Structure 1
Amino acid sequence: MRGIAVISVLFAVMFAGCSGKGRVSGSSAGDSTLVIAMLGDANYLNPVIGASVTSRNVYGLLYPGLLKSEFDTTSGLLNFVALEKKLRESAEHGSGKKTAGALARTWKMSEDHRSITYMLRSDARWNDGTPITSHDFKFTYELYANPVIASPRQQYLAELIGAEKGEIDFDKAIETPDDTTLVFNFYKPVPEQLALFHTTLTPLPKHVWKEVPPQEFRHSPLNQDPLGAGPYVLQDWQKQQQIVLASNPMSNLPKPGTIPRIMFRIVPDYTVRLAQLQTGAVDVVENIKPEDFDGLEAAKAAVEIKPVGLRVYDYVGWSNIDRNAYHQDGTIKPHPLFGSATVRRALTLAIDRQSILDGYLGEYGVVASTDISPSLKWAYNDAVVPYSYDPAESIRLLEKEGWMPGPDGIREKNGRKFSFVLFTNAGNERRNFASVIIQQNLREIGIDCQLDVQESNVFFENLRLRKIDAWMAGWSIGLEIDPLDSWGSDLEKSRFNFTGYQNPKIDELCELAKAELNPLDARPYWMEYQEILHHDQPTTFLYWIKETQGFNKRIEGEELNILSTFYNIDDWTLSPSASVAE
């Protein structure tokens, strides 16, 4: 089976990660280090600016959370839980499991839905012994809002007092009457679910960060030496190699991590990740290809495959705006290739998405229509049917827009060839497979698409800075629907709107939906939202992925759900009877 019996790779695996400063090596039975293979490194171990998957996985274990979240699979709604509710549930069910690692004891929404008040626990401390207080939250929210820092989560603050005028009035928007009381005030009524979603951003310790100027925030040495309060602390970070966390003896949120050490090992190549999982050199590998299941079983690898989804989708992004004009003086004008919704629909029609699924994901993928997942049952519009593969219709639309075949067969318009580079990140075998099919599909209709693969952090930084015209990437959606950070017309606030897509109707529908105090009442707005997004095709939505994660059988207690592969990782244990070869 491809990716399994590769002798040279296996020899490389046997010697990977066995030396070097701070390096954690595997051992025989009872090894105390959980090793997770990741395709890319973290960009920042800082919740204000960290945006990569690895960043989120790591800083989620280093920093405290205000609430815990739970997903209702029946309705597709995201629910939030405070400490006191978890304590009651634990007592009622006699559960021996830990309670929520939450800073909030409870919360109360005002009757007019214009404020939400949290009562914080008084015994939580940062790892240097300093108490965690409401002032840390207020300080950190000012960091999230600061345009110089350019947090990708600025849209979470869009309902706070002053946001409607373009500048949040933090004296009024966030009140801290004492260390354990935290009040968020909104300029309009806000649904409780949305208020909870937007007011639970992760805090930083004010006493450590308050002297760092905003212009130095992204470059501060504190990003390499985070002071947190979570179940783990950073022990070692060797860029592009590994991140090692150690169980935090100081944590009472609610306790130190059960496994003594967790290593996130950076392994860009899928074949190597798979071989390391087979040999036991790593314990967890995400997104195992279905075609490799039989090979793992035949090799008698001590591995379990567990599916979870649908939360992640792959897409092809098209820069809707001329990025050169935008970067030069802020001018917004259509991109010369991708600025037309008709052209973008033609591109989608030209891509054989089902062929990609058949060749790679099989039953573990579903063709996508928009960015609202079928798992969000209450909001999903099943009347919006994904465009079928139709190269003839694609050609008709292109020629309607003036893109005619040139002497070399490549389409031209006003002397410009329809030629571009499609970028993606290294180490993602699925996207590499898909990009080759996309290149072939586009060539068949007279479009020249070249492929380029970039190291993950370089790729995602280029996306953040809107430096590339076309790319293939993936997205893990928020389970509380709030897409303005991806599609909002204010490009300075909508930091994840890499395409530069602007549609005032989308802005309006998002605001109307968010204004409904009962989220189920927002359903009609999300129905129309999906129809418009499907028509405009700011990106080509490829497919939803039922992720298939591989776990070494020595791991016990893992609970996968749509929230995360590592939803309860601080409760996992390692069986002393299993072995790790390295």
Structure 2
Amino acid sequence: MQKIVFSLAILFSLSLFSACSSNNGSTRTDHIAVGVAADFDYLNPLLIQLSLSREVCALIFPTLVKPSYDTENGSIEFLPAAAETWEFSENGKKAIFHLRKDMVWEDGEPVTAGDFKFSYRLYADPRIASTRQHYLDDLLQDPEGNIDFDKSVETPDEFTLVLNFRAPLAPAIVLDHFNDLMPVAQHIFGQIPADEIRMKAAETPVIGAGPFRVKQWARQQKLVLESSSTSVLPHPAAIPMLSFVIVPEYTTRLAMLKSGQLDALVSAGGINPKDVGDLQKNSPGIVITPVKNRYFDSIVWLAIDGERYRESKEIRPNVFFGDKRVRQAMTHAIDRQAIIDGFMGPDHATIVNTSLSPAYASLTDNSLRPYEYDPRQALSLLSEAGWKPGPDGILRKNGTKFSIALAAPAGNPRRNYAATIIQQNLREIGIACEIRVDENLVFLKSQNEFRYDAALSGLAAETLPFQLVIWGSDFENRPFNSSAFQNSELDSVISRLGTPLGENENAALWKQYQQILHEEQPRTFLYYYDELEGFSNRVKNVQVNLLSTLYNAYEWTLD
């Protein structure tokens, strides 16, 4: 099946580019083609979970503000987008946004504050099951504990949006979270019952107001965007068309970039570090741009009995990873440096022991003892937890063999390489480990349903506010907490970090945040790695940064 998909992608690419060439045979200048490893989960901001899907949606739908990363001081500021200006009350419980008055959906209907309020109701609706549902938890509530949208989200006129919170919130939290809650068009989604939005996602028209609009989406093959002539957010895209070609096989993607069939490889479809030297020597027309400190890989250890939870919602410890000593042992057992040296190289990855990005060096707790590669210590911890070698050398506890499947997504050479090292490391300490590779969307769905005891997974965890939504004991409503990790102390720290704080208290709480994760190891945090994006030097005006690979894709042009 995968070979068929590869062939379809290549055929599409060839036909696309021949169609885009002018009659006199000159090189195309009106269409940028980007190669990616896997398809998008949704093009509906209510439903997205994948980071690249979020980036594409931000090119199609309005965003409240535009985050900007300052590489010199490592800080994020927010610039106008749908909101021209905004202000916060002194007590931190109110935010007022003044919207542009010239925004229109691509079908000509105006974008108003009512669209934002309507969309917030949908994000909060449990029938939608949005991964960002909990972003709205701080809004004013009614006596029954439900969000009181009439009081918490006010629209005194079509272009003023007022948010009222039940407790003080830091401005950065408000701007980050509500910027992620991209609105959908009320005149479209108001006609669809909330409990049908997810099931009708494939047939619902994608109507946005951003610089691009959807021209065509052929699942598992291609997504073609075209410049939206009516957009003022900030303007119609400079390039007439931008396409994403789904090519799961890395070597095929790379060959297509070298031949000029693709103009870029990005995100999980980016450049393998081992190919950098050859490309620099033999393909001078390819520019390699690293995105540093944005992405981390990890092994998610499921803390609960997933099958029992799916059947009855009963929370029981996972037979393997419910004990933190076992999770600590796993981190000691895995040779993370060997993975880095063998695949990325020491210049392109940094070992970490929590989810916090190395970009925030001023907040890093350097006093934490690193988890060194130490199989003896791993065995000692496992023994303390009751796991002893059986006659076949496999660890056992109360008659249960320590035998697991390590799940990984297809089409990701970095994680595939890591999986083989991890499998070998675990077998060396008496754990039977088989590798299970699933198609990307199947992998994501299975993680969300707690079907994997162990999964090689990662996140784009680029902002401090996003760090606060990865974790939460209410894991049913925290889909990024795919380990179902519960810790009341961490919940309290996260809650306090969302409020206005002085510099010293903020730094102290971030250190406490790291100390809890370091001790508990709900994931084995492998490393933050450089995502190497490859662009043809014909693609101009490209900015990639900690926040986004497609950060200014609406400014891209092609020579």
TM superposition score normalised by structure 1: 0.90
8 A contact 1:41–1:54 mirrored in 2: no
> Which of these residues, 483, 488, 496, is aligned with residue 472 of structure 2?
488
Question: 1:267 matched to which residue of 2?
Answer: 247
1:204 aligns with 2:188: no
> Which of these residues, 109, 112, 116, is aligned with residue 137 of structure 1?
116
Segment drifting more, 104-113 vs 65-74:
65-74
8 A contact 1:75–1:377 mirrored in 2: no
Query: 1:240 deviation in Å?
Result: 0.5
1:558 aligns with 2:547: no
Give a deviation string over 1:403-434, Cα, whole Å, max 9, x none.
11112111110110000111111110000000
- What is the number of residues matched between the two proteins? 546
Question: 2:3 matched to which residue of 1?
Answer: none
CA separation of 1:47 and 1:163: change in aligned 2, threshold 3 A = farther
CA distance in 2, matches of 1:43, 1:519: 39
What amino acid maps onto 1:364 in structure 2? H
Question: 2:47 matched to which residue of 1?
Answer: 49
8 A contact 2:293–2:462 mirrored in 1: no
> Which of these residues, 111, 126, 136, is aligned with residue 90 of structure 2?
111
CA distance in 2, matches of 1:564, 1:17: 25
User: Pairwise mapping of residues 385-400 of structure 1 onto structure 2 (< 5 A)?
Assistant: 385-400=369-384
Query: 1:222 deviation in Å?
Result: 6.4
CA distance in 2, matches of 1:518, 1:131: 41
Q: Secondary structure at the match of 2:234?
A: coil
User: Pairwise mapping of residues 99-248 of structure 1 onto structure 2 (< 5 A)?
Assistant: 102-162=81-141, 166-200=145-179, 201-221=181-201, 225-248=205-228
User: Pairwise mapping of residues 508-519 of structure 1 onto structure 2 (< 5 A)?
Assistant: 508-518=492-502
Question: 1:290 matched to which residue of 2?
Answer: 273
What amino acid maps onto 2:358 in structure 1? P
8 A contact 2:335–2:373 mirrored in 1: yes
Query: 1:74 deviation in Å?
Result: 4.0
Query: 1:199 deviation in Å?
Result: 2.4
Query: 1:288 deviation in Å?
Result: 1.3
CA distance in 2, matches of 1:370, 1:221: 35
> Which of these residues, 413, 428, 431, is aligned with residue 429 of structure 1?
413
8 A contact 1:435–1:472 mirrored in 2: yes
Q: Secondary structure at the match of 1:395?
A: helix
Identity of aligned residues (%): 40
Question: 1:442 matched to which residue of 2?
Answer: 426
Give a deviation string over 1:431-467, Cα, whole Å, max 9, x none.
0000000000000000001001111111111112222
TM superposition score normalised by structure 2: 0.94
CA distance in 1, matches of 2:283, 2:8: 20
Give a deviation string over 1:368-397, Cα, whole Å, max 9, x none.
111111102342222224311000000011
8 A contact 2:113–2:161 mirrored in 1: yes
CA separation of 1:485 and 1:202: change in aligned 2, threshold 3 A = same
CA distance in 2, matches of 1:24, 1:533: 52
Question: 1:18 matched to which residue of 2?
Answer: 14
Q: Secondary structure at the match of 1:492?
A: helix
8 A contact 2:329–2:381 mirrored in 1: yes
CA separation of 1:46 and 1:16: change in aligned 2, threshold 3 A = closer
Question: 1:66 matched to which residue of 2?
Answer: 64
CA distance in 2, matches of 1:214, 1:422: 36
User: Pairwise mapping of residues 453-464 of structure 1 onto structure 2 (< 5 A)?
Assistant: 453-464=437-448
Unaligned residue ranges in structure 1 (runs of 5+): 1-9, 83-101, 576-582
8 A contact 2:247–2:253 mirrored in 1: yes
Question: 1:5 matched to which residue of 2?
Answer: none
CA separation of 1:367 and 1:273: change in aligned 2, threshold 3 A = same
Unaligned residue ranges in structure 2 (runs of 5+): 1-5
What amino acid maps onto 1:372 in structure 2? L
What amino acid maps onto 2:411 in structure 1? G
What amino acid maps onto 1:149 in structure 2? I
CA distance in 1, matches of 2:116, 2:418: 42
1:381 aligns with 2:365: yes
Query: 1:211 deviation in Å?
Result: 2.0
CA distance in 2, matches of 1:349, 1:269: 32
